[in-house]
Amino acid sequence: MLIEARSLFVEINTAAILKGVDLSVTEPGLLAVVGPNGSGKTTLLRALTGILPSRSEALSLCNEAVEGTSRKHLASLVSYIPQIKETLPTLEVRHFLLFSRFPKKSFLSSYGQEDYRIIDETARLLDCRELLSRTLDTLSGGELQRVMIASALVQETPLIMLDEPTAFLDPNHRIEIFGLLRRIQQEAGKTILLVTHFIEYALNYAMRIVALKEGRLIFDGEPDEMARKGVIDTLYDMHFNVMHHDRRYFVYPAEEKR
Tally of structural domains, the chain: 1
**Using one digit for the tens of pLDDT, what is the confidence trace for 61-79?**
999 999 999 998 999 999 9
Q: What pLDDT is recorded for position 59? A: 98
The 10 Å Cβ neighbour count of residue 127 is 11
Per-residue pLDDT for 159 more than 90?
A: yes
- The boundaries of the domain holding residue 212 are 3-90+157-253
Per-residue pLDDT for 87 more than 80?
A: no
The pLDDT > 90 percentage for the chain reads 87
68 inside domain? yes
95 inside domain? no
114 inside domain? no
207 inside domain? yes
0.85 exceeded by pTM:
yes
116 inside domain? no
List, in sequence order, every residue forming a beta bridge with 78; answer none if it has no partner: 159
Contacts by 97-106, CB closer than 8 A, 24 or more apart: 97/122, 97/123, 97/132, 97/147, 97/150, 97/151, 97/154, 100/151, 100/152, 100/154, 100/155, 101/154, 101/155, 102/72, 102/75, 103/72, 103/73, 103/75, 103/76, 103/155, 103/157, 104/76, 104/155, 104/156
Contact 242, 250 (CB under 8 A): yes
Contact 253, 240 (CB under 8 A): yes
126 inside domain? no
- CATH number, position 82: 3.40.50.300
Q: What pLDDT is recorded for position 106? A: 62
148 inside domain? no
pLDDT average, residue stretch 112-135: 94
> Comparing C-alpha atoms, which of 16, 8, 5 is closest to residue 39?
16
Rg for the chain, CA atoms, rounded: 19
Cα Dmax for the chain:
61
100 inside domain? no
